[in-house]
Structure 1
Amino acid sequence: MSLMAPGAAMQRRASRLSVLAAVLWPLQAALVAYALGGLLAGVPIPAVPVALAYVALGAVRSFLTVLGDAQSQAAAETVIHAARGHIVLEEARRAADGPFGGAGGVAALASEKLDLLAPFITRYAPARARVMVIPAVILALAFWHSWAVGLVLVISGPLIPVFMALVGMAAKEASQRQLVEIGDLNDLLIERLSALADIRLLGASKVVRDRFATQAKDVQRRTMAVLRVAFLSSTVLELFAAIGVAMVAVYVGFSLLGAIEFGAWGGLTPQSGIFLLLLAPEFYQPLRDLSAAWHDKAAADAVLEEYSTWEAQETTCLLGRGGASLPMRGGAEISLRGCVLPNGDTLHNIEVSAGESVALMGPSGAGKTSALRLMAGLMSPDTGQVRVAGQGLSADTADSWRARVGWMPQSPHFLNASLRENVRMGREGDVSEALKQAAVDEVVARLPHGLHTRLGETGGGLSGGEARRLTLARAIFGAPDVILADEPTADLDAVTAHAVTEGLLAQVARGATLVVATHDPTLAARMDRVIEVGEAR
């Protein structure tokens, strides 16, 4: 996706409106020069019509400026909203963190870093459009009245872009370093928050706090470096713009006093002198606006580069769109044939019949979890075929297949919502039976607010085993045709493990297909079949 494409049309309209508003100033300057020149020469002028014309042009300029600003703001909001939505959608489909960085870095890109595009779109883009038109128009008008003034503008004007380019290279580098530090700081914060309990138990709070303070100071230093470059670019521009305007003022003043008799076509009149004095600052104004927004461009370039790096990273994406879908038709059988995992390991062929209960066993790292993820469409094999309900599992069929699947992951994860909603996940029905079969109903009854207890992402208030049983309740809620459970009895005592096993077998008894990855021989012995999973030779 082209990052700027969604707001390109509005951005072009904003630039045109900005240029049109700026072009009206020479007309206003001509009216002012005509009025003041007539007063100095003692020539009567129609004051009321001139004043009304000046006010009318000013009103049109203001109207065009407001329209242009509205278009720029709309373009910025559209671009940022589209980019943010694209990041969220793609990250939701990606199976794991990619080479770009962790969740903190991606969150920083999607939130605060994308916001840096707004000044670029609203300030830099219109200023760049004005620079391409307004100086050329004013230069032509200046040469029309005085070749000396035109020469001053020609000599002083190009110096500003040269220094802007030199400063801009430093600004971009400083902005890139700042953005990298922000991403690293967000990653560090998320890692430390997730391990906060362990840090306190180990007495490492001071070390972690000092490390975080050091990195925060690095971000502060990078930010000040960007600001120093921005102030430097503005200072350089103001210097050359002031020198240019001063030279024009000196020439016009001495010409009107008669001390200089060259540089104008047939002599410089008061009207022409005043007109040139009014035009000179506006010749530099687009360049000044562009310079003031130059650090915005540097920051935007750094964001665009980081966004391109994120978009170009190669990661495993989940099949399907993750939306609601009608259940796939056909028997609930599963087949893995010749599947090669992304890490290069090859799984033995696995065949599971409809209504069968199967245990996948093997040493850690043998591929049990990967096999379950292949069956659920949560990852794709590099080569090989996954067939479910008699069809190939692909991006087109994954959503309808998952509508029939109950999934219990190895690592519990919850929404920041009530316990009831964490089991239902938007589905209708009573959760009590699912909680009972997962042997977690008594745990829920002991919670202060019962089913209304709000859980954090890691299931605050629940032990590891209780959180795992709650994910099992989520998996069996709604009586799915297929249940895929990863280590359902891990971290459980014998009594609770037996209750969970009975709950799973109750699902098989009603006709569900059950596949569990486990190290528990007692659970495996209750299954219809045990498949030893390992790297195929």
Structure 2
Amino acid sequence: MDDSTEQDEAHRRRAQARIIAPVRDTLRRAALLAVAAGLIWPLQAALIAWVISIWVTSGGSDTGAADNALLAIAGFVALGVIRAGLDRLSGRLLFDAADRTIARERAILIRREARNPSEAGSAEVSALAVQKLPLLQAWVTRYHVAMMRTAVLPLALAVLAFTISWAAALILLISGPLIPMFMALVGMAAEDASRQQMREIGSMNDMLMERLSAMLDIRLLGATKRAARDFETRAESLREKSMAVLRIAFLSSTVLELFAAIGVAMMAVFVGFSLLGELNFGTWGTPLSLREGIFLLLIAPEFFQPMRDLAAAWHDRAAGYAVVADLDALDEAERVALVGTGARAAPLEGQATVAVSKAVAALPGRALPLPDLQLKAGESVALTGPSGSGKTTALASIAGLVPLDAGAITVCGHTLDAQTADAWRARLSLIPQRPHFPDETLRVWLDPEDTGRDPSPALDIAGARDVVERLPHGLATTLGETGGGVSGGEARRLMIARAALDDSNVILADEPTADLDAETAKRIIEALVRLKDQGRTLIVATHDPALAAAMDRQVHLPLMHAPFASEGAS
């Protein structure tokens, strides 16, 4: 066994342990119910064969035969209801297991990336959480049930056929194994094609987010046609990889249907010529009866059905392995560790001071020196410097969102570490470069602790009263995730109002005037100055000379490499 085969086997074992093992008991119960439902069909087939043979032999004139036929029909219906109930219960267990699995993996992914982000782009993480994880559902709900049904039902039906005709059983046993053999041959190709499709989905989402975030620059540089061509090329690549998966699926399905159809046709030929008296072998001493022949014809398609289901579920399994490969890759990625636990805590005691001394931020695979700072309570400072100099990383480190490789950050007279980080963050308000509004009203968002305070003074400090008054429902308005319904400057003023309403006395603002016109930027600066005049400690990262000049002092950062976040400015 070569290294690549060993790696594939190891990957499959990890995937089974990660996705299937936690819900194995549920899958086993669901599979047993599905098998029980499948074993009901031979009973129904026997009743159908009995009814038809009664009608044929009696000519429809025998009253007793008619009564027996009605009894058989009632039994058929009752068994059908039981079978449907078992299938429904099995399906409920399977979809519950799939929902729990997807919810667990999505929660782990989002929680980890929110607190310990890797270098993976937000588009890649979003594609994995929203587009790829749901592909696990078909694997969980179909494959393992199909495996158990394939292991039990064909053998049981072959044994029943053998009790009637050894030739009929031989037909099934010769044609049946061709399906798993061909399925094994296409399995590796299907898994490889699914992996390539998953990678292309993530790459396309990354490119889309990158182009959207740089749309203004693209338009200013006149590069819209080139961006459209790039997107068209990537979309065509995704189409080709998706079609490769579909081609394999349709090819294998066609061949498998052919084998199944040949098997059923061979059974029909045997039964038909036996009933006509042309074939006088294959039974146990007595000619094949009409009832036995109809029974064999009815169970023949069901002999192949579990294997056909397994062939379809094989592609679901391949897609599931591809998704787990992406999850494993993200698990192993280097990431920034959140300092502390991220839990709620009482505010850290002491004056709102900040001191950064010979600190070096520990980023994935590299380290970034931070500027030395000495900031008293109520002071303000502007971190300036070119993009890539580490301004955003400095803010994140001061907030305890990035650990240190060396040096120290002291806040409120305490060393910023795992024991103090959560309490320190309880004194912070962060004004990020890109606003985010959850699915709740502005009133709730402005006052997340539900203190019942009047937001009007905070709106006046931020110069945002007119923004709220213009909204259709005022403070009862629910904005879109990125602030749909307000402009970029208005969204940032609302974020300043939220900081003003909060008890936090340290404000960290990342490029609060970026991409704004001069008048709007002036209003943002005035709002921040009003916060500073309230005695709040203020640290801003900015390229804006006017905002930097409004602070008590400035600290210039030289150009460094590998900022904390690729937001166009750091």
Q: TM-score, normalised by structure 2?
A: 0.76
Cross-structure match for 2:88: 66
Query: Using the alignment, how far apart are the partners of 1:450 and 1:55 within structure 2?
Result: 58
C-alpha displacement at 1:273, in angstroms?
A: 3.5
Cross-structure match for 1:31: 47
Query: Using the alignment, how far apart are the partners of 2:341 and 2:173 within structure 1?
Result: 58
Q: Which amino acid aligns with 1:457?
A: T
Q: Equivalences for 1:388-403 in 2 at 5 Å?
A: 388-389=411-412, 393-394=416-417, 397-403=420-426
Q: Check whether the contact 2:382–2:555 (CA below 8 A) recurs between aligned residues.
A: yes
- CA 481–305 in structure 1, closer or farther in 2 if over 3 Å, else same: same
C-alpha displacement at 1:110, in angstroms?
A: 1.8
Q: Equivalences for 1:327-476 in 2 at 5 Å?
A: 327-334=347-354, 336=356, 339-341=359-361, 342=363, 343-347=366-370, 355=377, 357=379, 359=381, 364=386, 367-383=390-406, 386=409, 388-389=411-412, 393-394=416-417, 397-409=420-432, 411-415=433-437, 424=447, 428=451, 429-434=453-458, 437=461, 440=463, 457=482, 462=487, 471-476=495-500
Q: Give yes or no for the alignment of 1:318 onto 2:338.
A: yes
Q: Equivalences for 1:494-505 in 2 at 5 Å?
A: 499=526, 502-505=529-532
Q: Check whether the contact 1:348–1:534 (CA below 8 A) recurs between aligned residues.
A: no
- CA 458–381 in structure 1, closer or farther in 2 if over 3 Å, else same: farther
Cross-structure match for 1:482: 506
- CA 382–4 in structure 1, closer or farther in 2 if over 3 Å, else same: farther
Q: Which amino acid aligns with 2:132?
A: K
- Structure 2 residue aligned with 1:168, among 187, 194, 197? 187
Q: Give yes or no for the alignment of 1:241 onto 2:247.
A: no
Cross-structure match for 2:199: 180
Query: Using the alignment, how far apart are the partners of 1:502 and 1:319 within structure 2?
Result: 30
Query: How far does the alpha carbon of each residue in 1:272-320 deviate from its partner, in whole angstroms, 9 at most, with x for none?
Result: 4333332222111111222233333333332232233233322214345
Cross-structure match for 2:568: none
Query: Using the alignment, how far apart are the partners of 2:464 and 2:70 within structure 1?
Result: 86
Query: How far does the alpha carbon of each residue in 1:247-296 deviate from its partner, in whole angstroms, 9 at most, with x for none?
Result: 22333334444444443333444144333332222111111222233333
Q: Check whether the contact 2:529–2:550 (CA below 8 A) recurs between aligned residues.
A: no
Query: How far does the alpha carbon of each residue in 1:168-221 deviate from its partner, in whole angstroms, 9 at most, with x for none?
Result: 333233333333333333333333333334444444333333433343333333
Query: Using the alignment, how far apart are the partners of 1:93 and 1:376 within structure 2?
Result: 12
Q: Check whether the contact 1:152–1:248 (CA below 8 A) recurs between aligned residues.
A: yes
Query: Using the alignment, how far apart are the partners of 1:24 and 1:155 within structure 2?
Result: 24
Cross-structure match for 2:115: 93
Cross-structure match for 2:249: 230
C-alpha displacement at 1:82, in angstroms?
A: 3.2
C-alpha displacement at 1:227, in angstroms?
A: 2.4
Q: Check whether the contact 2:410–2:416 (CA below 8 A) recurs between aligned residues.
A: yes
CA RMSD of the aligned region, Å? 4.2
C-alpha displacement at 1:358, in angstroms?
A: 6.3
Query: Using the alignment, how far apart are the partners of 2:359 and 2:185 within structure 1?
Result: 54
Query: Using the alignment, how far apart are the partners of 1:123 and 1:526 within structure 2?
Result: 62
Query: Using the alignment, how far apart are the partners of 2:270 and 2:522 within structure 1?
Result: 99
Q: Which amino acid aligns with 2:426?
A: A
Cross-structure match for 1:288: 308
Q: Check whether the contact 1:358–1:531 (CA below 8 A) recurs between aligned residues.
A: no
- CA 391–146 in structure 1, closer or farther in 2 if over 3 Å, else same: farther
Q: Check whether the contact 1:437–1:502 (CA below 8 A) recurs between aligned residues.
A: no
- CA 479–507 in structure 1, closer or farther in 2 if over 3 Å, else same: farther
* Identical columns (%): 44
Cross-structure match for 1:19: 35
Cross-structure match for 2:322: 302
Query: Using the alignment, how far apart are the partners of 2:523 and 2:123 within structure 1?
Result: 37
Query: Using the alignment, how far apart are the partners of 1:222 and 1:198 within structure 2?
Result: 31
Cross-structure match for 1:135: 154
Q: Which amino acid aligns with 1:252?
A: V
Q: Check whether the contact 2:37–2:84 (CA below 8 A) recurs between aligned residues.
A: yes
Query: Using the alignment, how far apart are the partners of 2:216 and 2:513 within structure 1?
Result: 24
Query: Using the alignment, how far apart are the partners of 2:127 and 2:286 within structure 1?
Result: 62
Cross-structure match for 2:299: 279
Q: Check whether the contact 1:347–1:534 (CA below 8 A) recurs between aligned residues.
A: no
Range with bigger deviation, 134-143 or 216-225: 216-225
Q: Which amino acid aligns with 2:268?
A: A
Gaps of 5+ in 1: none
C-alpha displacement at 1:5, in angstroms?
A: 5.9
Query: Using the alignment, how far apart are the partners of 1:133 and 1:199 within structure 2?
Result: 61
Cross-structure match for 1:506: 533
What SS does the corresponding residue of 1:483 show, helix, strand or coil? strand
Q: Equivalences for 1:510-529 in 2 at 5 Å?
A: 512-515=536-539, 527=552
Query: Using the alignment, how far apart are the partners of 2:549 and 2:221 within structure 1?
Result: 37
- Structure 2 residue aligned with 1:151, among 170, 179, 196? 170
- CA 206–266 in structure 1, closer or farther in 2 if over 3 Å, else same: same
Q: Check whether the contact 1:412–1:467 (CA below 8 A) recurs between aligned residues.
A: no
Q: Check whether the contact 1:171–1:226 (CA below 8 A) recurs between aligned residues.
A: yes
Query: Using the alignment, how far apart are the partners of 1:39 and 1:275 within structure 2?
Result: 15
Query: Using the alignment, how far apart are the partners of 2:204 and 2:556 within structure 1?
Result: 43
Query: How far does the alpha carbon of each residue in 1:377-430 deviate from its partner, in whole angstroms, 9 at most, with x for none?
Result: 121124555554465545565333212112344x24242788777755666534
Q: Check whether the contact 1:345–1:535 (CA below 8 A) recurs between aligned residues.
A: no
What SS does the corresponding residue of 1:406 show, helix, strand or coil? strand
C-alpha displacement at 1:477, in angstroms?
A: 3.5
Query: How far does the alpha carbon of each residue in 1:9-53 deviate from its partner, in whole angstroms, 9 at most, with x for none?
Result: 443332221111001112222333445456667798644443333
Query: How far does the alpha carbon of each residue in 1:52-104 deviate from its partner, in whole angstroms, 9 at most, with x for none?
Result: 33332222112111222232333333333333333333333244x624xx222
Q: Which amino acid aligns with 2:314?
A: W
Cross-structure match for 1:2: 18
Query: Using the alignment, how far apart are the partners of 1:388 and 1:506 within structure 2?
Result: 21
What SS does the corresponding residue of 1:345 show, helix, strand or coil? strand
Q: Which amino acid aligns with 2:185?
A: L
Q: Give yes or no for the alignment of 1:109 onto 2:136.
A: no
Q: Check whether the contact 1:5–1:79 (CA below 8 A) recurs between aligned residues.
A: no
Q: Which amino acid aligns with 2:327?
A: Y
Q: Check whether the contact 1:476–1:483 (CA below 8 A) recurs between aligned residues.
A: no
Query: Using the alignment, how far apart are the partners of 1:517 and 1:169 within structure 2?
Result: 51
Q: Give yes or no for the alignment of 1:78 onto 2:74.
A: no
Q: TM-score, normalised by structure 1?
A: 0.80
- CA 242–459 in structure 1, closer or farther in 2 if over 3 Å, else same: closer
What SS does the corresponding residue of 2:154 show, helix, strand or coil? helix
- CA 451–384 in structure 1, closer or farther in 2 if over 3 Å, else same: farther
Q: Check whether the contact 2:459–2:494 (CA below 8 A) recurs between aligned residues.
A: yes
What SS does the corresponding residue of 1:2 show, helix, strand or coil? helix
Query: How far does the alpha carbon of each residue in 1:489-535 deviate from its partner, in whole angstroms, 9 at most, with x for none?
Result: 88879987985675354233xxx5555557869968974x8878789
C-alpha displacement at 1:372, in angstroms?
A: 2.9
- CA 531–444 in structure 1, closer or farther in 2 if over 3 Å, else same: same
Q: Check whether the contact 1:148–1:263 (CA below 8 A) recurs between aligned residues.
A: yes
Q: How many residues align?
A: 525
Q: Which amino acid aligns with 2:158?
A: L
